[in-house]
């Protein structure tokens, strides 16, 4: 018997949806019948993702160019999604990038940029979509964070701090909105195949598969993760099958993290 996720017709908004994890999540939810809206800053990759996901799933995809660090862009993103598809039932706060330095070298501007991208964007979007979720009788929010937010290594700021704040935001929001039928969880991603790693390989002049193998060497499962594996987990967490799961964090890191 198939595991019916109950996502058909639900409106999902995914930030950072043009590449990597966000794109994989968008395609997975679209394949389940959700009406998916994606955003990214660059129009070209966004349009390409829209066309490819539509071709793969047969579903219309709404692509909105938006910078999640700009409050006005977020308001336009949410309003456009509601106008085109209806009230939002699913939010995936995925936009982010690697930012790890020594505490002594990371300046104030670097800190603020990271907090705006990874924390404030999630806060602002949550505020914007909760009224919409209340109108449809509930919803699901997934904040993408990392295990480093639980057990920060050295020279990991500001990312480890902004991700720790994202984990705390998840728990606080789950308690505040639980009575509205709104579930909030976080997925803590470890080493996953992504555009960030591809760009690192290109910058180093190394074959990407060689870098994947090197990264996967330190993972207990012996390999780097696939974006589609993250997408499957997110699809489950936002589905009806996860109706009693909220306020929790799930590591998807091949067992690499030192913490549960």
Indicate whether 1 belongs to any domain: no
Please provide the DSSP assignment of the chain as one string: -------TT-EEEEES-SSHHHHHHHHHHHHTT-EEEEEES-HHHHHHHHHHHHHHH---EEEEE--TTSHHHHHHHHHHHHHHH-S--EEEE------EE-TTT--HHHHHHHHIIIIIHHHHHHHHHHHHHHHTT-EEEEEEE-GGGTS--TT-EEHHHHHHHHHHHHHHHHHHHGGGTEEEEEEEE-SB--HHHHHHHHHHT--HHHHHHHHHTTSTTSSPBPHHHHHHHHHHHTSGGGTT--S-EEEESTT--S--
Domain identity same for 157 and 171: yes
pLDDT band at 1 (very low <50, low <70, confident <90, very high): low
Tens of pLDDT along 116-126?
999 999 999 99
The residues, ordered by sequence, that sit 6+ positions from 225 with a Cβ below 8 Å of its Cβ are 189, 190, 191, 192, 193, 252, 253, 254
Number of domains in the chain: 2
Tens of pLDDT along 35-55?
999 999 999 999 999 999 999
pLDDT band at 197 (very low <50, low <70, confident <90, very high): confident
Domain identity same for 196 and 179: no
Domain identity same for 126 and 195: no
pTM (two decimals): 0.96
Residue 200 pLDDT: 82
Indicate whether 52 belongs to any domain: yes
Indicate whether 215 belongs to any domain: yes
Indicate whether 139 belongs to any domain: yes
Between CA 125 and CA 90 the distance in angstroms is 11
Residue 172 pLDDT: 98
Indicate whether 179 belongs to any domain: yes
pLDDT band at 150 (very low <50, low <70, confident <90, very high): very high
Domain identity same for 186 and 61: yes
Mean pLDDT of the chain: 96
Residue 2 pLDDT: 65
Domain containing residue 210:
191-224
Indicate whether 257 belongs to any domain: no
């Amino acid at each position: 018997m198939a595991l019916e996720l109950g996502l058909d017709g639900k409106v999902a908004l995914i930030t950072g949806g043009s590449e990597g994890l966000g794109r994989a999540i968008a395609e997975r939810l679209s394949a389940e019948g959700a009406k998916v809206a994606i955003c990214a800053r660059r129009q070209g990759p966004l349009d390409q993702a829209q066309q490819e996901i539509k071709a793969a799933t047969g579903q219309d995809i709404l692509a909105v160019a938006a910078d999640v660090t700009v409050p006005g862009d977020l308001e336009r993103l949410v309003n456009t999604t509601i106008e085109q598809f209806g009230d939002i039932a699913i939010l995936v706060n995925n936009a982010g990038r690697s930012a790890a330095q020594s505490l002594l070298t990371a300046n104030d501007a670097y800190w603020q940029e990271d907090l705006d991208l990874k924390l404030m964007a999630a806060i602002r979007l949550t505020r914007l979509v909760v009224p919409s979720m209340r109108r449809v009788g509930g919803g699901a929010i997934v904040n993408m964070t990392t295990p480093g937010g639980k057990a920060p290594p050295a020279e990991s700021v500001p990312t480890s701090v902004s991700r720790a704040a994202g984990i705390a935001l998840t728990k606080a929001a789950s308690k505040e909105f639980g009575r509205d039928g709104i579930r909030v969880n976080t997925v803590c991603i470890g080493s996953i195949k992504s555009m960030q790693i591809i760009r690192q390989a290109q910058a180093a002049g190394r074959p990407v598969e060689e870098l994947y193998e090197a990264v996967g060497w330190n993972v207990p499962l012996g390999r780097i993760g696939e974006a589609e594996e993250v997408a499957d987990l997110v699809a489950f967490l936002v589905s009806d099958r996860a109706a009693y799961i909220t306020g929790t964090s799930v590591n998807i890191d091949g067992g690499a993290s030192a913490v549960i």
